[in-house]
Structure 1
Amino acid sequence: MNTPVAPRNPASLLQSERLQLEASHPLLAPAICDFHQRNLAHLAPWEPPRSADFLEPVATEARMNAEVSAFAHGQMWRYWLTRHGEPTEVIGQCQVSQVARGVAQNAWLGYSLDAAQQGQGYMQEALHCLLDELFSPRVWLHRIQVAVRPDNAPSLRVMERMGFREEGLCRDYLFIAGAWRDHKIFALTNPAWDRTEPPLI
């Protein structure tokens, strides 16, 4: 197996057939504000409480600066999705957080997609592209986990189509839309990682 000398961060720009996945940076702030504003009602049932200034450009730019630092330090990798030929319109995002190296080599995955772009396979395309990078010898994560509410039918379909296995139910797992919500836990293991191959620590 061609494993890296030491696991590294993923590339800051990824490309799929129809999409560009671009890591957070301050210049994206206006497009990100527009994405959140357009999808405020659409995403409200599935996202945690936000600060009062969440939609403000200055606060968004500050978050992007913090995420640039988190990306560089291997703590969290967020990507914003745009279509080829339409680089100024963000249509979604996917983020990899709680990155654990050492004997774990795993992380948590989250994602969201513009209401107007549902049903076109964009999220599956983006996640395939991202997982190829995360499981590549450069980054070399062993396992990706996802928490999905049992009533989030579109996300459950994504999990099924992506081949994630359901591992259990966490009661009152996250505070979403005014209450503590149950979440199903899904996971996907790097198919190129032999079960007896140790991590590089």
Structure 2
Amino acid sequence: MTERLVMRASTPALAEATIDYQQRNLAHFERWDPTRPSDHWTLDVTRARLEREAAAFDAGTLWRFWISSREAPDRVIGQCAVSEVVRGVFQSAMLGYSLDVDCVGGGLMHEALARVLDEVFGPLVSLHRVQASVRPENARSRRVLERLGFQREGFSPRYLFIDGAWRDHETFARINPTWGDSQRPAE
């Protein structure tokens, strides 16, 4: 939880709320999200996916949070995920996120991501690095990352197939500020 948000880990009980979130935002997400199979947001497939995500959360390999406002806790307005966790000498993961079109511009995603980064850089998870890839024309997303202290590291041409074509992305990353240059990863 944050000052304005309720953040819940994936669970099959959220299936209908997550489907509603996706349906409300189809046009908004079309430009930014990869194409999904036609059954991706059906109830049974969504429940099964959320069950797998709950197991991954427990295993420490994926942390997805579904975001709601405190005023309407049953209505999902966003999601953020730390995924593709690699331990060993890398101690890194990928960050992804999305927000309801009607909530964009109010600082809600910044608030949610700040909370998630506190957790994954904190002592329980203790990642060294989190990176995110953003399409260059997605200025709002780039600003959120920059406000959170992410640095642009590079450009990846034709990185993901989105909205009918291979799309370029910029890579941003943030290093855990509590890790010293010679801090060894946990064994």
CA distance in 1, matches of 2:3, 2:145: 21
Secondary structure of the residue that 2:68 maps to in structure 1?
Answer: strand
Matched residue type, 2:7: L
Secondary structure of the residue that 1:82 maps to in structure 2?
Answer: strand
Using the TM superposition, name which of 98-107 and 153-162 deviates more.
153-162
Cα displacement string for residues 87-141 of structure 1 (whole angstroms, at most 9, x for unaligned residues): 1100000011110111111100000000000111000000000000111111100
1:28 aligns with 2:14: yes
Instruction: For residue 85 of structure 1, report the CA deviation from its aligned partner.
Output: 3.2
Give the corresponding residue for 2:106. Answer: 120
Give the corresponding residue for 2:30. Answer: 44
Over aligned residue pairs, what C-alpha RMSD do you find? 0.9
Matched residue type, 1:44: E
1:104 aligns with 2:90: yes
Specify every segment of 5 or more residues in structure 2 that has no aligned partner in the other structure, as ranges. Answer: none
1:139 aligns with 2:125: yes
CA distance in 1, matches of 2:151, 2:122: 20
| Number of residue pairs the alignment of both structures matches | 187
CA distance in 2, matches of 1:153, 1:43: 15
Secondary structure of the residue that 1:171 maps to in structure 2?
Answer: strand
Give the corresponding residue for 2:39. Answer: 53
Q: 1:162 aligns with which of 145, 148, 159?
A: 148
CA distance in 1, matches of 2:163, 2:57: 28
CA distance in 2, matches of 1:35, 1:84: 16
CA distance in 2, matches of 1:19, 1:113: 12
Q: 1:81-92 residue pairs with structure 2 within 5 A? A: 81-92=67-78
1:152 aligns with 2:110: no
Give the TM-score, by structure 2 length. Answer: 0.97
Instruction: For residue 62 of structure 1, report the CA deviation from its aligned partner.
Output: 1.1
Using the TM superposition, name which of 89-98 and 156-165 deviates more.
156-165
Cα displacement string for residues 158-189 of structure 1 (whole angstroms, at most 9, x for unaligned residues): 12211110001011111111111110000000
CA distance in 1, matches of 2:109, 2:185: 29
Identity of aligned residues (%): 51
CA distance in 2, matches of 1:77, 1:136: 14
CA distance in 1, matches of 2:148, 2:36: 29
CA distance in 1, matches of 2:10, 2:185: 28
Give the TM-score, by structure 1 length. Answer: 0.91
Q: 2:4 aligns with which of 13, 18, 21?
A: 18
Matched residue type, 2:23: Q
CA distance in 1, matches of 2:174, 2:117: 10
Instruction: For residue 55 of structure 1, report the CA deviation from its aligned partner.
Output: 2.3
CA distance in 1, matches of 2:62, 2:151: 23
Give the corresponding residue for 2:56. Answer: 70
